[in-house]
């Protein structure tokens, strides 16, 4: 078991009283950041509006209308609408602080803290208290920030700010303290494009693997029914 001696003053400075922020992995990540050829800034300096955490909403009887995004709708592969609940347009208008716009970054605060996705739709949406909304300055590309937060480096940094072992949580204040490597906008877009291309390639490879697994599973049935090509 890894052990680390930490000064009480350092514990008070970080405000996090568990092992991860002081582990060898955390130290390694911090050392990597020191090598960044670009500025490193906390998330709070990248936003143009005050970041918002969603409301703890009451259940709605609406079967259609404005989707209310939750933690299950945010994944490293992007945003989905599986199992989404709805608000009536009138209820959505009352919750104007948590309305979502195209280009907003939604970040999970609970269960998989720090996992993020860009809202890329023109249609209205809202979100619940398991998510935070970031509206970024023009010089920060949303896809880049999402790729960074979902990366091994980003997730390692985020784990240093989380609390809870059974159900990890990151507070909004802690999320805003996470350091981000911030290259020029053109470089951000180049990196985001590369990340998207690799993710699409990985998705296609998984689909190809699934098809081959199905072929292997039916091999003996095919043999009896007409032979194997």
- Domain ranges for the chain, please list them: 8-183, 184-229
Residue 139, judged by CB atoms within 10 A of its CB (0-12, 13-18, 19+), counts as exposed
Query: Which CATH number, 3.40.50.20, 3.90.220.20, 3.40.640.10, 3.40.228.10, labels domain 8-183?
Result: 3.90.220.20
Q: How far is CA 214 from CA 176, 207, 218, in A?
A: 45, 11, 6
Q: What is the pTM of this model?
A: 0.81
Residue 7 is predicted with a pLDDT of 56
Residue 24 is predicted with a pLDDT of 65
Q: % helix / strand / coil in the chain, to the nearest 5? A: 45, 20, 40
CB 42 within 8 A of CB 180: yes
Residue 8 is predicted with a pLDDT of 53
Strand partners, 134: 105
Compute mean pLDDT per 10 residues along the chain, 229 residues long, and list them.
52 52 67 88 97 80 88 93 92 93 97 95 95 98 97 92 84 95 97 90 86 85 73
Which residue, 44, 37, 2, is CA-closest to 161?
A: 44
Residue 1 is predicted with a pLDDT of 46
């Amino acid at each position: 078991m890894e052990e680390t001696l930490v000064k009480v003053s350092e514990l008070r400075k970080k405000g996090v009283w568990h092992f991860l922020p002081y582990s060898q992995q955390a130290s390694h990540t911090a050392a990597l950041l020191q090598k960044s050829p670009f500025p490193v800034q906390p998330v709070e300096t990248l936003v143009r509006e005050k970041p918002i955490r969603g409301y703890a909403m009451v259940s709605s009887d609406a079967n259609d209308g404005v989707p209310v995004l939750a933690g299950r709708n945010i994944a490293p592969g992007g945003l989905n609408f599986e199992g989404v609940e709805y608000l009536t347009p009138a209820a959505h208008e009352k919750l104007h602080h948590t309305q979502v716009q195209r280009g907003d970054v939604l970040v999970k605060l609970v269960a998989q803290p720090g996992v993020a996705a860009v809202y890329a739709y023109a249609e209205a949406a809202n979100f619940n208290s398991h998510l935070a909304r970031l509206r970024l300055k023009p010089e920060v590309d949303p896809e880049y920030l999402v790729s960074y937060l979902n990366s091994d480096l980003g997730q390692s940094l985020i784990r240093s700010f989380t609390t809870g072992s059974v159900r990890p949580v990151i507070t909004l204040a802690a999320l805003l303290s996470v350091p981000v490597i911030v290259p020029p906008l053109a470089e951000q877009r180049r990196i985001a494009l590369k990340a998207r291309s690799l993710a699409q390639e990985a998705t296609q490879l998984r689909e190809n693997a699934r098809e081959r697994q199905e072929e292997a599973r039916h091999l003996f049935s095919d043999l009896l029914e007409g032979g194997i090509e």
